Structure 1
Amino acid sequence: MDTAAANETIARLWDAEILPSLTEFVAIPALSPAFDPAWSSAGHLDAAVEHLRAWITGRGVEGAEVEVVRLPDRTPLLLVDVPATPGAPDTGTALLYGHLDKQPPVGGWAEGLGPWTPVLRDGRLYGRGSADDGYAGYAATAAIEAVRAAGGAHGRCVLILETGEESGSPDLPAYLDHLADRLGTVSLVVCLDSGGNDYERLWLTTSLRGMVSVDLTVRVLDAGAHSGLASGVVPSSFRIARHLLDRLEDSETGEIRLKEMHVDIPDDRAAEAAATARSAPGAIVNAFPLADATRPVTEDEVELLLNNSWRPTLSVIGASGFPEPLDAGNVLRPFTTLTLSFRLPPTADHEHALAVLERTLTEDVPYGATVEITRSESAPGWNAPALAPWLNDALDQASAHVFDGSPWRTIGLGGSIPFMGLLADEYPAAQFVITGALGADSNAHVPNEWLHVKHAKRVTAAVAHVLDAHSRS
Structure 2
Amino acid sequence: MSLDIKKVEDFSKQSWDQNIIPTLSKYIEIPNQSPLYDKEWATNGYTEEAIQLLYKWVIAQNIAGSTCEIKTIGDLSPIIFIVIEATKKTNAKNVLLYGHMDKQPPITDQWTNGLHPYKAIIRDGKLYGRGGADDGYSTFASIEAIQCLKKQGIEHDRYVIIIEGSEESGSIHLPAYIDQLAAEIQTPNLIICLDSGCGNYDQLWVTASLRGVMTGDLTVKVLDEANHSGAASGIVPSSFRIIRQLLSRLEDPETGEVTSKLHVDIPSYRIDQTKLCAQVLGNIVFEEFAWNGQTQPISKDPFQLLINKTWKPTLCTTGVDGIPPISNAGNVMRTSTTLKLSIRLPPSFDSKKAGDIVKEILETNPPYGSTVTFKCDKSASGWDSPAIEPWLEKALQESSQQFFNKPHVYLGEGGTIPFMGMLGAKFPKAQFVITGLLGPGSNAHGPNEFLDIEYAKKLTGAVVYILAAHAALN
1:373 offset after TM fit, Å? 2.0
- 2:467 corresponding residue in structure 1: 467
* Residues in 1 aligned to 2:354 and 2:30: alpha-carbon distance in whole angstroms: 37
- Counterpart for residue 166 of structure 2: 164
Secondary structure (helix, strand or coil) at the match of 1:278 reads: helix
Q: Say if 1:454 and 1:21 are closer, same or farther in 2 by CA, change over 3 A.
A: same
Tell me the SS of whatever aligns to 1:186. coil
Structure 2 regions of 5+ residues with no counterpart? none
Mapped to 1, the partners of 2:58 and 2:217 lie a distance apart of: 41
Alpha-carbon distance in 2 for matches of 1:229, 1:86: 80
Report the Cα distance in structure 2 between the residues aligned to 1:11 and 1:87, rounded to whole angstroms: 30
Tell me what 1:380 maps to: 381
| Counterpart position of 1:306 | 307
Assess, with a 3 A threshold, how the Cα gap between structure 1 residues 193 and 379 changes in structure 2: closer, same or farther: same
Which stretches in structure 1 are left out of the alignment for 5+ residues? none
Q: CA–CA distance in 2 between the matches of 1:9 and 1:362?
A: 58
Post-superposition, which runs of at least 4 consecutive aligned residues in structure 1 deviate over 4 A?
none
Q: Given the superposition, is the C-alpha separation of residues 379 and 86 from structure 1 closer, same or farther in structure 2, using an over 3 Å criterion?
A: closer
Count of residue pairs the alignment pairs up: 470
* Structure 2 counterpart of 1:13: 15
1:226-375 equivalence runs, <5 A: 226-257=228-259, 259-375=260-376
2:69 to 67, 70, 76: 67
Superposed CA RMSD? 1.2
Q: CA deviation at 1:150?
A: 2.6
TM score, norm. by length of structure 2: 0.97
2-side partners of 1:96 and 1:17: how far apart? 20
SS in 2 for 1:96: strand
Shift of 1:375: 4.3
Cα offset for 1:152?
Answer: 2.8
Confirm or deny: 8 A CA contact 1:190 1:432 kept in the other structure.
yes
Which residue among 106, 117, 120 is the counterpart of 2:119?
Answer: 117
1: CA distance between counterparts of 2:152 and 2:123? 31
**Aligned AA for 2:435?**
T
Offset at residue 303 of structure 1 (A)? 0.5
> Which stretch of structure 1 is more off in the superposition, 224-233 or 309-318?
224-233
Matched residue type, 2:302 = E
CA–CA distance in structure 2, aligned partners of residues 177 and 46 of structure 1: 23
Identity score, percent: 44
Partners of 1:7 and 1:146 within 8 A in 2? no
Mapped to 2, the partners of 1:208 and 1:456 lie a distance apart of: 21
1:376 CA displacement: 3.5
- Does the CA-based 8 Å contact 2:190-2:432 persist in structure 1? yes
Task: Name 1:409's counterpart in structure 2.
Answer: 409
Equivalent pair of 1:3/1:150 in contact (CA under 8 Å): no
- Match of 1:312, as an amino acid? P
Q: Is the 2:320–2:337 contact (alpha carbons within 8 Å) kept by the matching residues of 1?
A: yes
- On the 8 A contact 2:193/2:433 being kept in 1, the answer is yes
Q: Secondary structure at the match of 1:35?
A: coil
Residue identity opposite 2:248 in structure 1: D
- Aligned partner letter, 1:40: A
* Residues 1:50 and 2:42 aligned together: no
Which residue number in structure 2 is paired with residue 441 of structure 1?
441
Measure the CA separation in 2 of the matches of 1:290 and 1:88: 56
Kindly provide the CA deviation profile for residues 243-299 of structure 1, in whole angstroms up to 9, marking residues without a partner as x.
Answer: 111111111000012x32100011111111110111121221112111111111011
Structure 1 window deviating more from structure 2 (33-42 vs 94-103): it is 33-42
Partner SS for 2:127:
strand
- The equivalent of 2:227 in structure 1 is 225
Measure, in 1, the Cα distance between the counterparts of 2:155 and 2:196.
Answer: 25
Aligned 1:84-123 pairs, distance under 5 A: 84-87=86-89, 89-90=91-92, 92-107=93-108, 108-123=110-125
Alignment correspondent of 1:22: 24
Q: Secondary structure at the match of 2:241?
A: helix
| Greater mean deviation of Cα atoms: 80-89 or 26-35 | 80-89
Question: Which shifted more, 32-41 or 174-183?
Answer: 32-41
Distance 2:326 2:344 in 1: 30
1:31 alignment partner in structure 2:
33
- 1:28-70 CA distances to partner (integer Å, 9 max, x unpaired)? 1111111211111112111111111111111111111111111
CA displacement at 1:153 relative to structure 2: 3.2
Q: Distance in 2 between matches of 1:137 and 1:317?
A: 30
Separation of aligned partners in 2, 1:388 and 1:74: 36
TM-score w.r.t. length of structure 1: 0.97
Q: Is the 8 A contact 2:15 2:144 kept in 1?
A: yes
Counterpart residue identity of residue 33, structure 1: P
Aligned residue for 1:438, secondary structure, equals: coil
1:88-147 CA distances to partner (integer Å, 9 max, x unpaired)?
Answer: 632x21100111111111121113211111111111111111111111110011111112
Preserved contact between residue 169 and residue 418 of structure 1 (Cα < 8 Å): yes
Question: Could you tell me whether the CA contact under 8 Å between 1:195 and 1:438 is conserved in 2?
Answer: yes
